[in-house]
C-alpha cells in the first residue's frame, strides 16, 4: 500500500546529518522505552517537497514530557514541559529545538473498526490536523524508520498541488484554518481543493471568524504577512471576503496594490544594502491598515487581545508612522535634515512603511536617509564643547543636533568649522534662554 512507503532516503537527503542522527536517536529511545515515536506535520510535508524545515515536531505514543526529559538529559539540552498539554520542548545549547507532543488519543480510546488498529492512535492524532498535506507522519522506531503514514491523501494532494481539509466540519471546528489554507496555498502555489473551497465559503457566510480568539487571528495574519507572496494571500482574502473580519474599512484597491509594490521595492533594496533583519510583517501591517484612523486601529488591536506591551508597541508603530508621513508630506521638504529628523523617530520597519507611503517623489531622500543621513554624527562631541568652555551642559544636545543637521545639509563641514559654529549657536541659545 502506498501509505506505507519508506521515505528514509528523502529524510536523509533533505535534512542535515545532525537532525537525521537525532531522529534515529529518538527512534532508538522509543524502542528502549516501548514507545512509538513519529515525526509529524509540516516537516513531513516539506521533506516530500524536498525543502528543509528545522521545526521538528515529534509525536510520542506515551508520555511526551517523560520522553523529552530523558532525551534532553542524554544530549545536555534544556527541557521545558507543558504538563497541561502533555507537551515538551527540548532546547539544545545552540538554540536548536525539538518539540514533543503526546499522541492526542491512546489507541484503546479509538474504535476497533479503525483501518489498522495498530496505528489508530497516531491516525487519530493526525485526523485532528488542518490539511491533508500537514497530516502525515514518519515512523522513527528503528525497525520501521522512515515509514510514511499517509491516511488522508497527503501525497496525492502534494502532487495535485491542493490544499484540502480532512473532513466537512474542519472550518467549523477551527475557522482559523481558513487563514492557514490561504497561507499554505500561497507559499507552495497550491490551489484550494473544490470541496474545501465550498466549505471555506460556507464558513465565511456564517461569519465563523468572529469566533476565533484574538491572538490567533493576529498570529495567522502575522504569518500571512511574513510570507513572501503575501499580496497574493491578501488577494485571496479579498476574494473570499475575509478582510472584513479584521476591519471593514480596509480598502483593497489599486492604490493599495501600488503601495504594496512600492513597499516591496524598498524592502528588497533595503535587504540588499543592509544586514539588519526586522520583522517584515510590521511594515506590511502598517500599509495594509493605512486608511484606518486612530479609533479604528485601536478597535482592531483590541480585537487581537494581545498583551498590553505588544498592543502599545503596534499602536505606537502605526501612529508614529502616520504622524511622520503627515508631517513630511505637509511641509515642503527641501532639506535632507528635515526629512532625517522625522524619520529618525521611527524604527526601521516603520521608516520603511513610511517611505512606501511617501512614494516615488521622496525616493532620493529615502535612499540617502537609509544609506547615509541616519548614521551622520556631528564632527565634534560633548568633550570638545566642554574643553571649549561652553556652558551650560543643558544646551549640548541642542548644539550637537544642530551641527548634525547642518552637516546633513552639506553646510559647516569639518571639526574647525563645526567648533566655530558651536560657539555661535551656544551664544544664541544662551541669549534666547
Ligand atoms: P510552517 O512551515 O509555517 O511552520 P507548519 O505546518 O509547521 O507551518 P505550524 O503552525 O507550525 O505549521 O503547525 C504545525 C502542525 O500542527 C501543522 O503542520 C498541522 O499539522 C498542525 N496544526 C497547526 N495549526 C493547526 C490548526 N489550526 N488546526 C489543525 N492542525 C493544526
pLDDT value, residue 107: 46
Q: Which residues contact 313 (CB under 8 A, 6 or more apart)?
A: none
Ligand 1 centroid distance, CA of 135 (Å) = 9
Contact assessment for residue 379 and residue 414, using Cβ atoms and an 8 Å cutoff: yes
Placement of cell 546633513 in the chain: 408
Tell me what pLDDT residue 335 has.
Answer: 86
Ligand 1 centroid from CA 227, angstroms: 15
Q: Distance between CA 32 and CA 55 in Å, rounded?
A: 25
pLDDT at 275: 93
Grid cell of 95 as nine digits: 538554540
pLDDT in the model for residue 1: 44
Q: Which atom of ligand 1 is nearest to the CA of 46?
A: 2
ipTM over 0.90 threshold: yes
Please, which residues have CB within 8 angstroms of residue 249's CB and are 6 or more apart in sequence? 291, 292, 296
For the chain, give every residue range classified as CATH 3.30.460.10.
2-160
Pocket-forming residues, ligand 1, beta carbon under 6 Å: 41-42, 53, 55, 57, 129-130, 134-135, 174, 176-177, 180
User: How remote is the CA of residue 42 from the centroid of ligand 1, in Å?
Assistant: 6
- 218 CA to centre of ligand 1 in angstroms: 15
Nearest CA to ligand 1 atom 24: 130
Separation of CA 57 and ligand 1 centre (Å) = 10
Where do we find the cell 520522553?
67
Nearest CA to 247 out of 205, 198, 303, 197 is that of 303
Contact 60, 100 (CB under 8 A): yes
Q: What is the pLDDT of residue 179?
A: 98
CATH architecture of 2-160: 2-Layer Sandwich (3.30)
How many other C-beta atoms lie within 10 A of the C-beta of residue 150? 25
Per-residue pLDDT at 105: 66
Contact 241, 200 (CB under 8 A): no
Q: What is the pLDDT of residues 86-125, one digit of tens each?
A: 999 999 999 999 999 999 765 444 444 444 555 778 999 9
Query: What's the chain's Rg over C-alpha atoms?
Result: 28
Distance in Å, CA 58 to ligand 1 centroid: 13
- Residue 50: predicted pLDDT: 96
Locate 303 and state its grid cell. 480585537
Q: What is the pLDDT of residue 118?
A: 58
| 289 within 8 A of 318, measured Cβ to Cβ | yes
Query: Are 48 and 165 in contact, with CB atoms under 8 Å apart?
Result: no
| Mutate-to-test residue for ligand 1 from 51, 101, 134, 222, highest number of ligand atoms within 8 A of CB | 134
Residue 357: per-residue pLDDT? 97
Atom 27 of ligand 1, residue of closest alpha carbon: 177
Pairing of strands 97-102, 56-61: parallel
Query: Would you say 242 and 209 are in contact if contact means Cβ atoms under 8 Å apart?
Result: yes
Q: Residue 3: its pLDDT value, please?
A: 53
Give the residue, out of 45, 104, 130, with the most ligand 1 atoms within 8 A of its beta carbon, to mutate for a pocket test. Answer: 130
**Cell 481558513 belongs to which residue?**
178
Best of 14, 38, 40, 41 for a ligand 1 pocket test (most atoms within 8 Å of beta carbon):
41
Low-confidence ranges of the chain (pLDDT < 50): 1-2, 107-115
Cα of 406 vs centre of ligand 1, distance in Å, is 53
What pLDDT, on the 0 to 100 scale, is given for residue 117?
Answer: 52
The closest-lying atom of ligand 1 relative to the alpha carbon of residue 223 is: 3
Residue 41 CA to ligand 1 center (angstroms) comes to 6
| Spacing, Cα 242 to ligand 1 middle (Å) | 21
Amino acid at each position: 500500500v502506498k501509505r506505507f512507503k519508506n521515505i528514509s532516503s528523502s529524510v536523509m537527503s533533505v535534512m542535515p546529518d545532525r537532525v537525521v542522527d537525532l531522529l534515529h536517536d529518538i527512534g532508538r529511545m522509543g524502542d528502549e522505552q516501548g514507545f512509538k515515536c513519529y515525526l509529524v506535520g509540516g516537516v513531513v510535508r516539506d521533506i516530500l517537497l524536498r525543502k528543509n524545515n528545522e521545526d521538528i515536531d515529534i509525536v510520542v505514543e506515551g508520555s511526551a514530557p517523560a520522553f523529552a526529559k530523558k532525551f534532553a538529559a542524554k544530549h545536555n539540552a534544556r527541557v521545558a514541559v507543558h504538563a497541561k498539554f502533555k507537551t515538551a520542548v527540548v532546547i539544545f545549547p545552540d538554540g536548536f529545538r525539538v518539540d514533543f507532543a503526546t499522541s492526542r488519543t491512546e489507541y484503546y480510546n479509538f474504535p476497533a473498526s479503525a483501518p489498522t488498529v495498530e496505528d489508530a492512535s497516531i491516525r487519530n492524532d493526525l485526523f485532528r490536523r488542518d490539511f491533508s498535506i500537514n497530516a502525515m507522519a514518519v515512523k522513527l522506531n528503528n525497525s520501521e524508520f522512515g515509514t510514511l503514514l499517509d491516511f488522508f491523501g497527503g501525497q496525492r494532494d502534494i502532487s495535485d498541488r491542493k490544499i484540502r481539509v480532512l473532513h466537512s466540519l474542519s472550518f467549523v471546528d477551527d475557522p482559523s484554518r481558513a487563514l492557514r489554507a490561504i497561507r499554505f496555498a500561497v507559499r507552495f502555489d497550491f490551489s484550494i481543493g473544490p470541496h474545501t473551497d465550498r466549505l471555506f465559503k460556507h464558513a465565511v457566510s456564517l461569519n465563523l471568524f468572529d469566533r476565533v480568539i484574538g491572538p490567533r487571528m493576529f498570529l495567522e495574519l502575522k504569518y500571512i504577512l511574513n510570507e513572501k507572496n503575501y499580496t497574493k494571500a491578501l488577494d485571496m482574502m479579498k476574494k473570499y471576503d475575509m478582510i472584513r473580519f479584521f476591519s471593514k474599512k480596509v480598502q483593497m484597491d489599486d492604490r493599495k496594490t501600488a503601495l504594496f509594490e512600492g513597499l516591496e521595492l524598498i524592502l528588497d533594496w533595503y535587504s540588499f544594502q543592509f544586514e539588519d533583519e526586522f520583522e517584515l510583517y510590521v511594515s506590511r501591517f502598517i500599509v495594509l491598515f493605512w486608511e484606518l484612523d486612530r479609533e479604528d486601529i485601536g478597535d482592531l488591536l483590541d480585537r487581537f487581545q494581545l498583551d498590553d506591551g505588544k498592543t502599545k508597541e503596534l499602536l505606537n508603530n502605526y501612529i508614529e508612522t502616520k504622524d511622520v508621513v503627515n508631517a513630511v508630506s505637509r511641509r515642503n521638504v527641501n532639506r535632507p535634515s528635515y526629512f532625517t529628523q522625522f524619520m529618525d523617530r521611527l524604527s526601521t520597519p516603520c521608516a520603511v512603511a513610511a517611505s512606501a507611503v511617501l512614494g516615488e517623489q521622496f525616493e532620493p531622500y529615502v535612499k540617502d536617509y537609509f544609506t547615509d543621513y541616519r548614521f551622520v554624527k556631528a564632527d565634534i562631541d560633548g568633550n570638545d564643547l566642554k574643553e571649549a568652555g561652553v556652558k551650560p551642559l543643558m544646551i549640548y544636545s541642542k548644539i550637537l543636533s544642530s551641527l548634525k543637521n547642518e552637516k546633513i545639509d552639506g553646510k559647516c563641514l569639518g571639526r574647525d568649522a563645526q567648533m566655530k559654529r558651536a560657539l555661535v549657536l551656544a551664544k544664541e541659545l544662551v541669549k534666547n534662554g
